[in-house]
Amino acid sequence: MIEHVRKIFFGLDIVGFNQTGRTDIACLDMRRGLYDALGRALAAGSLEAESYDLLDRGDGIMAVIDESVELHTVASRVVPALTSAIHEYNHSARPDAQIRLRAALHSGDVFRDDHGYVGRHVSHAFRLLDGPELRGTLAASVAVLALAVSESAWRELEPPTPGGPEFTSILISTKERAARAWVAEFGASPALVG
């Protein structure tokens, strides 16, 4: 069965997941930590389990969230809660199992079949997540999480939450074209400083 649906895409990718010096055990610990942190963050946003699907990507997760959930809820409640949960995880994690995340937030229409989701909007969310500019943003900071918000999602979110992080407009290179996104860093991590 094929359905045409509108979804929010909240993608997460662990930075340096397969870097030299990380054992498979450390990778397993990070995956458990990420799933736990995301579960807690979605609960903090009052998202019911029926309102999202989690697509495993090995070194990350794409949360595909129903359109009944407001995009603002993800940006203003889920992202900060996720940052806090990752801080807690990192506080007790071994140094080789510490987590930093690239994240992307986008929304749009896709098709759902028996195997998952397909369409340019889910692809665009993955492209934002993997863009070299987002990678560079996080590499140049000590933030726990760097979030790229797509242009269409940004229009829904404006103005940003008062007192929240400062977003910067950038162009992110994708396979198809450069795409405008707004990027912010969340939660400097003392464990990663220096």
- The residue-averaged pLDDT of 164-168 equals 83
Query: Looking at the domain that runs over 3-192, which CATH code has it been given?
Result: 3.30.70.1230
Mean pLDDT, all residues of the chain: 90
Asked whether the predicted pLDDT for residue 178 surpasses 90, the reply is no
Determine how many CB atoms are found less than 10 A away from the CB of residue 194. 5
| Dist CA 26 CA 33 (whole Å) | 10
Q: What is the pLDDT of residues 120-143, one digit of tens each?
A: 999 999 999 988 898 888 888 889
What pLDDT shows up at residue 163?
A: 67
State the pTM of this model: 0.92
What pLDDT shows up at residue 165?
A: 80
Residue 141, judged by CB atoms within 10 A of its CB (0-12, 13-18, 19+), counts as middle
List the domain boundaries for the chain.
3-192
